[in-house]
């Protein structure tokens, strides 16, 4: 059989794909560990040990960036996981406007981060329409993007506005694959909608929760362009994240230091996402017996 | 009892539908409306209709700005999306076929490597260094390769999942009838993959078209840019000139808006198939 496999499915068919992936993705990932410990100008690299990491952690901007990245990733992720699930359950509950709501929630997903940032710049501007609206209730103008107290919060809200569609759609797909017979049986036993949600829907939707959780957490830890376009990392370092720090180090030519930043991001993503992923999966197996 | 709940849920549904007005429609209305205003009028950031309809001038200005830069960048973006998705579809489906059908150590290792790529972030600077070595840094082919490599794990996993539903007996029947392995892939397997191929194409085109990070890094030293970089540069150059800015925002988003209107169902389906990972 194995011999037949070789003839039927010649290995070279997989070579182009794997070659591109390994050369452009895998090898750079591996060598980054070495380059993170060097002073590097793309041509010559001098080994300096852990000096880059030392420098990285001693900079104020990078320290706040680390904290901000965690806050940003966890807030956007949990909001998407929860709001997405609630919206999807509501849309799937057989309401008339389900299709309309689905389209509305989904559309922003198709827009580019920078375009969304530009639009919200006009809305969250100190004289923007949000403050004009709040002024009607006697609330003083809030500097949503230029006050360090609110800037991160605004970035999180904009990201949830844009990214909620994906989460909701994944949940809708998960919900529509749950067999109706569970709910019919529950209806005979006189279960309330709340009981339905917690006893039937939630345990069976765990795989979708895991998908949304993983995708939005990884996304939140990596991205920077929307925040960068909204606030430029400011005011001060209040919205600086790892991604924007790495880009800034790259553009000023500190390649070794920027790679050290990448390695830190790599470690954070792996240390959070891999265990979380298996934890949620295990929880799902426990519940489903 | 039942009737009472019916009334409440009706009111709640109306509330939810009305909620889309401030959350979504006001945003779109504000952007579209402001794009027709003169600079002074737009800077007031109001929801009122334009005092003077300046739309033609705004849009013409954006379209011709910096020697028709928008058209050039739009062309680049469409070229980038087309080429990378074209290559992606073929290389990832072929890889998926081999990895799904053959079981040996190399395949198992490749599998693990690809799965890791779903989670691990891309290391930008070493990638830039590799491209530089290959003489592809700051070139369109280099950027295309980067996009293919970034999207490769996801696409391969999607194809692999789908291939599990295609029985091996089909392959065997074809091979017994004298089909060569290459013919098997092109004439039998690839057509059967159509639903997932459509999903990959739609979903990943959106991702590549909207990609900002890769062009920012790998085309930083090039004169040809993509639309996402264009809108960013435009934003930097026209701070608070909302009439022009929003006209540019709409023009850049137009391909996606058209895609959504024309292929509404397919786009949403594709999004779901593409996001549920294997």
**pLDDT digits 0-9 by tens, B117-127:** 888 888 889 99
**Inter-chain residue contact A112 with B210, CB threshold 8 Å:** yes
* Predicted pLDDT at B106: 87
Residues A90-107, mean pLDDT to the nearest whole number = 88
CB contact under 8 A, A96 and B217: no
Residue A20: domain span: 1-31
Please report whether residue A124 resides in a domain. no
pLDDT, position B3: 44
Q: Is residue B234 in a domain? A: yes
* Cα A204 from Cα A13, distance rounded (Å): 38
Backbone angles phi, psi at A47, to 5 degrees: -70, 130
Q: Is residue A123 part of a domain?
A: no
- Please write the tens of the pLDDT for every residue from B186-230: 888 899 998 889 888 888 888 899 999 899 888 877 778 899 999
Give the strand pairing for A45-47 and A38-40. Answer: antiparallel
Residue A40 dihedral angles phi and psi, to the nearest 5°: -135, 130
Provide the pLDDT for residue A77. 95
| Same domain (yes/no): A168, A189 | yes
Are the beta carbons of A274 and B119 separated by less than 8 Å?
Answer: yes
A176 is a domain residue: yes
pLDDT at A82 over 80: yes
- Tell me the chain A residues in contact with residue B210 when contact means C-beta distances shorter than 8 Å: 110-113
The Cα B216–Cα B236 span in angstroms is 14
Name which of A17, A13, A19, A16 is nearest B171 in CA terms: A13
Find the domain containing B264 and state its range: 66-275
Beta carbons within 8 Å of A76's beta carbon, 6+ residues apart: A156, A159, A160, A163, A216, A219, A220
B47, B206, B227 ranked by CB distance to A110: nearest: B206
Q: What CATH number has the domain bearing residue A158?
A: 1.10.3720.10
Residue A244: left (phi > 0), alpha (psi -120 to 50), or beta?
alpha
Q: Across residues A175-192, what is the average pLDDT?
A: 86
What percent of chain B has a predicted confidence (pLDDT) above 70?
96
CATH of the domain at B70: 1.10.3720.10
Residue B18 falls inside a structural domain = no
User: Looking at the structure, do residues A6 and A80 belong to the same domain, yes or no?
Assistant: no
What percentage of chain A's residues is helix, strand, coil (to nearest 5)?
A: 75, 0, 20
Cα A218 from Cα A21, distance rounded (Å): 20
Does B227 map to a domain? yes
- Specify if B21 maps to a domain: no
Same domain, A212 and A284: yes
Which chain B residues are closer than 8 Å to A13 by Cβ? 94-95, 97-98, 181-182, 185
Query: Is the CB of residue A167 less than 8 Å from the CB of residue A212?
Result: yes
Domain for residue B48, yes or no?
no
**Rounded mean pLDDT of chain B?**
87
Tell me the DSSP string of A14-39.
GHHHHHHHIIIIIHHHHHHHHHTTEE
In a domain, B115, yes or no: yes
Would you state the pLDDT for residue A287?
60
A110-124, A216-230, B263-277, range with the lowest pLDDT: B263-277
Are the beta carbons of B126 and A28 separated by less than 8 Å? yes
Predicted local confidence at residue B24, as pLDDT: 93
| Structure confidence at residue B278 (pLDDT) | 36
How far, in Å, CA of B229 to CA of B242, rounded? 18
Q: How do residues B138-159 score in pLDDT, each as one tens digit?
A: 889 999 999 999 999 989 988 9
The confidence score (pLDDT) of residue A204 equals 87
Our count of domains for chain B comes to 1
**d(CA B197, nearest CA chain A) in Å:** 16
Same domain for A150 and A20, yes or no, is no
Residues A88 and A47 in one domain: yes
pLDDT at A86: 92
Total number of domains in chain A: 2
Query: Same domain, yes or no, for A22 and A100?
Result: no
Structure tokens, B66: 């910096």
pLDDT at A70 exceeding the cut of 90: yes
Q: Residue A129 domain-assigned?
A: no
pLDDT tens-digit profile of B224-266? 889 999 999 888 888 878 889 999 999 999 998 998 888 888 7
How far CA B234 is from CA of A91, A114, B96, in Å, comes to: 39, 11, 41
């Amino acid at each position: 059989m194995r011999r037949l496999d070789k003839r039927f499915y010649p290995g070279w068919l997989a070579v182009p794909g794997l070659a591109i992936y390994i050369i452009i993705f895998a090898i750079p990932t591996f060598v980054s560990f070495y380059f993170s410990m060097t002073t590097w100008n793309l041509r010559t690299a001098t080994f300096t040990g852990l000096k880059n990491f030392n420098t990285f952690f001693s900079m104020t901007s990078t320290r706040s960036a680390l904290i901000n990245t965690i806050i940003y990733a966890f807030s956007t992720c949990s909001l998407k996981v929860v709001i997405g699930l609630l919206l999807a359950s509501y849309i799937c509950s057989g309401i008339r406007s389900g299709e309309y709501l689905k389209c509305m929630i989904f559309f922003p997903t198709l827009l580019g981060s920078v375009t969304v940032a530009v639009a919200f710049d006009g809305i969250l501007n100190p004289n923007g329409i949000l403050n004009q609206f709040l002024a009607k209730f006697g609330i003083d103008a809030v500097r949503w993007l230029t006050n360090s107290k609110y800037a991160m919060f605004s970035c999180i809200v904009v990201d949830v506005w844009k990214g909620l569609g994906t989460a909701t759609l994944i949940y809708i797909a998960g919900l529509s694959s749950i067999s109706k017979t569970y709910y019919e049986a529950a209806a005979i036993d006189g279960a309330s909608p709340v009981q339905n949600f917690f006893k039937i829907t939630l345990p069976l939707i765990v795989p979708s929760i895991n998908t949304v959780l993983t995708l939005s957490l990884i996304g939140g830890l990596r991205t920077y362009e929307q925040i960068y376009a909204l606030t430029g990392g400011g005011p001060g370092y209040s919205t600086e994240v790892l991604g924007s720090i790495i880009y800034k180090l790259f553009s000023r030519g500190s390649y070794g230091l920027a790679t050290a930043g990448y390695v830190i991001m790599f470690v954070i993503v792996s240390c959070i996402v891999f265990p979380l992923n298996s934890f949620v999966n295990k929880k799902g197996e426990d519940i489903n017996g | 009892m039942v009737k009472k709940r019916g009334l409440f849920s009706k009111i709640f549904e109306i509330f939810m539908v009305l909620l889309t007005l401030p959350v979504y429609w006001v945003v779109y209305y504000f952007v579209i409306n402001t794009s027709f205003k003169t600079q002074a009028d737009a800077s007031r950031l109001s929801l009122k209709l334009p005092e003077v309809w300046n739309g033609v001038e705004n849009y013409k200005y954006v379209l011709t700005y910096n020697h028709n830069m928008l058209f050039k960048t739009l062309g680049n973006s469409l070229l980038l999306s087309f080429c990378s998705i074209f290559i992606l579809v073929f290389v990832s489906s072929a890889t998926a076929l081999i990895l799904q059908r053959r079981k040996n150590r190399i395949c198992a290792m490749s599998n693990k490597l690809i799965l890791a790529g779903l989670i691990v972030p891309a290391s930008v600077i070493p990638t830039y260094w590799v491209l530089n070595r290959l003489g592809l840094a700051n070139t369109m082919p280099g950027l295309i390769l980067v996009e293919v490599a970034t999207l490769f794990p996801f696409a391969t996993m999607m194809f692999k999942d789908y291939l599990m539903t295609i029985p091996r007996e089909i392959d065997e029947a074809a091979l017994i009838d004298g089909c060569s392995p290459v013919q098997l892939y092109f004439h039998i397997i690839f057509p059967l993959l159509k639903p997932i191929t459509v999903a990959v194409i739609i979903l990943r085109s959106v991702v590549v078209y909207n990609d900002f990070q890769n062009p920012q890094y790998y085309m930083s030293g090039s004169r040809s840019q993509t639309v996402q970089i264009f809108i960013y540069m435009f934003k930097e150059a026209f701070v608070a000139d909302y009439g022009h800015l929003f006209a540019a925002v709409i023009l850049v988003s137009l391909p996606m808006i058209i895609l959504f209107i024309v292929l509404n169902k397919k786009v949403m389906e594709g999004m779901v198939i593409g996001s549920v990972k294997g």
